[in-house]
Amino acid sequence: MGFVSREDSHQLPLSTILRKRRLRKTRGLTVEKARVLISKMNGLNPFLPLEALQAQFGNKISFATIMKIPIIAALILAPLFLFAADDSLKVTFDTEWRGERLILPTGFAPDLSLRGIEEIRFAPGMFDPGHEEFFSYALVFYLPNQQPLTQTQIHTELLKYYRGLAASVGRDRKPKIETDKFTFALTPVEGKAGHYTAILDWVEPFKTGKAQKLRFEIESANIADMNASRLSMSASPQKPDHKLWPVLRKVTASAKFTKVAK
């Protein structure tokens, strides 16, 4: 590929390689071309964060090796696609938690009706099944030119999202993950318009391949001074009274959206 330099054949930290890919000029790679490239990779998923990749493959890995691992190859192409898509929106959180930005609809859920940007921040124990923070994160959808999602829209879109995620990440698991059996129970919070609690009954595809009840606190609202809405979510399998929830709420609520001049 034309945007790969010779230095990438050496042993470099994975974070350095991904950063180089994000900053390198795309040399004619348009958003649509990148979307096609990613989709042609047969269900590849650009969702995995750097920490999860390093935990599985180590902190240092050659570029040649990376390109032989499909899910990481997708990550190298994905930043080019994402960077080209919208670099004028800045989303910040009051946390040191690491995360990712994806374009909606995502590569693993192309049937989403949503158009916008996803920002996610992972709790430090996100990908450690033995940690109390396992699969816990703050997630925000930025939806330009769109009114706040209704209860029906939230239910439909998030079920598509997590079915697609599980199908992509868990495609090689045996037995096959039956995503059509996932359910998403969404309940309005009394007296708080646009607020919901939810439980996703699904199979966690990243680490365990086991059934999981993933709990959510969700808010659908307009973004002040912008022609856009947001869908803000805190997610964790922990019960509602667990000490992690106040932390998740704080991180999710701290999301700030700023348009920057190009």
Looking at residue 43, the DSSP 8-state letter turns out to be: S
Distance, CA of 11 to CA of 57 (rounded, Å): 13
- Residues 6+ positions from 3 with CB-CB distance below 8 Å: 21, 24, 25, 26, 27, 29, 80
Distance, CA of 154 to CA of 176 (rounded, Å): 26
Answer yes or no: are the C-beta atoms of 226 and 89 closer than 8 Å.
Answer: no
Paired with 149 in beta bridges are none
Show the tokens assigned to 24: 């390198």
Neighbouring C-alpha atoms within 13 Å toward the C-beta of 12:
17
Q: Where are the domains positioned within the chain?
A: 1-85, 89-262
| Per-residue model confidence (pLDDT) at position 259 | 87
- Report pLDDT digits (tens) over 1-45: 222 223 333 333 434 434 444 434 334 444 444 444 444 443 433
Residue listed under structure tokens 């923070």: 133
- Successive 10-residue mean pLDDT values, the chain, 262 residues: 30 40 41 43 41 45 45 45 59 95 92 95 96 98 97 98 94 94 98 98 96 98 95 98 98 94 68
Distance, CA of 144 to CA of 231 (rounded, Å): 11
108 exposed, middle or buried (CB, 10 Å; 0-12, 13-18, 19+)? buried
- Residues 6+ positions from 16 with CB-CB distance below 8 Å: none
| Per-residue model confidence (pLDDT) at position 166 | 95
In terms of CATH architecture, what is 89-262? 3-Layer(aba) Sandwich (3.40)
| Dihedral of alpha carbons 124, 103, 119, 83, sign | positive
| Per-residue model confidence (pLDDT) at position 2 | 27
